[in-house]
């Protein structure tokens, strides 16, 4: 698989808005027996980062960015159906990401790979207040808080959230994992704000989550009680 050539061709199809040609190109790749996980890690993720970088620096129009992120999210999620799935429960993850379509795309790629690896992921997206995050940690019994593909403007709130979690002390065994997005652009930021683990790609994220140390800490934080969802009461 000539990765660079594939990335360039698929990138051009995506930004053109030609969804049919994009789907045909991806179908041809899968017919070459390229593992779906490899496509996600080696093709879709680098294109996601290219899109974010080019749009951020004004080198990609809004319409091309919108075309590409939406079409890429579709083919990436469709490809997840072909992932090799692990028949085990590795733990629960509460996951948040940045507010843009591109950041949700990066998060979706990570979600699909984590779920295939045996994790139960509660994907909350963006814009969730810190007090709600704390409540969700309690409700879901998540052993890992994953802050993935976050935006630069999210960094102060993430720092405040991590400080609040440490100060309250209600989740002593919680594993905090950061990566993608602003954490890739500002190396060392994840460690600076107090994350336990950081990763730059979905493949590295899964590897870090599967490490013995991470798995042991996450398992300690969980119970066998199924997660219960809140039901709002009418006033």
Residue 151 pLDDT: 84
Residue 23 pLDDT: 97
pTM given for the model = 0.85
CA distance 220 to 212: 12
Tens-digit pLDDT profile for residues 137-189: 999 999 999 999 888 888 898 999 999 998 988 788 899 999 999 999 898 99
Domains of the chain: 3-82 (1.10.1240), 91-221 (3.40.50.280)
Task: 168-174: list long-range contacts, CB under 8 Å, 24+ apart.
Answer: 168/134, 170/134, 170/138, 171/137, 171/221, 172/221, 173/143, 173/217, 173/218, 173/220, 173/221, 174/137, 174/142, 174/143, 174/144, 174/145, 174/221
Residue 232 pLDDT: 42
Residue 88 pLDDT: 77
Average pLDDT on 197-218 reads 78
Share of the chain above pLDDT 70, in %: 89
CA distance 203 to 110: 8
77: nearest Cα among 112, 36, 25: 112
CA distance 35 to 177: 26
Average pLDDT on 70-88 reads 93
Report angle CA 156, 181, 8 to the nearest 5 degrees.
160
Residue 227 pLDDT: 47
Residue 164 pLDDT: 92
Tens-digit pLDDT profile for residues 103-139: 999 999 999 999 999 999 999 999 999 999 999 999 9
């Amino acid at each position: 698989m000539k990765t660079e050539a594939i990335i360039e061709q698929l990138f051009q199809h995506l930004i053109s808005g030609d969804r049919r040609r994009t789907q045909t190109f991806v179908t041809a790749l899968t017919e070459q027996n390229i593992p779906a996980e490899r496509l996600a890690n080696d093709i879709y993720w680098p294109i996601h980062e290219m899109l974010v970088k080019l749009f951020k620096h004004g080198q990609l129009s809004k319409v091309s960015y919108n075309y590409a992120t939406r079409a890429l999210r579709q083919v990436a999620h469709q490809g997840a159906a072909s992932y090799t799935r692990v028949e085990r429960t590795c733990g629960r993850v509460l996951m948040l990401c940045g507010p843009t379509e591109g950041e949700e795309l990066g998060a979706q790629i990570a979600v699909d790979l984590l779920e295939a690896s045996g994790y139960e992921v509660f994907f909350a997206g963006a814009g969730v207040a810190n007090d709600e995050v704390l409540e969700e940690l309690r409700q879901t019994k998540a052993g890992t808080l994953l802050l993935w593909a976050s935006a630069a403007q999210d960094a102060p709130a993430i720092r405040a959230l991590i400080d609040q979690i440490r100060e309250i002390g209600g989740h002593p065994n919680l594993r905090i994992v950061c990566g993608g997005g602003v954490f890739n652009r500002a190396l060392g930021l994840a460690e600076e704000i107090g994350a336990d683990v950081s990763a730059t790609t979905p493949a590295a994220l899964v590897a870090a989550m599967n490490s013995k140390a991470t798995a042991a800490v996450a398992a300690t934080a969980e119970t066998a009680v199924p997660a219960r969802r809140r039901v709002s009461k009418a006033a």
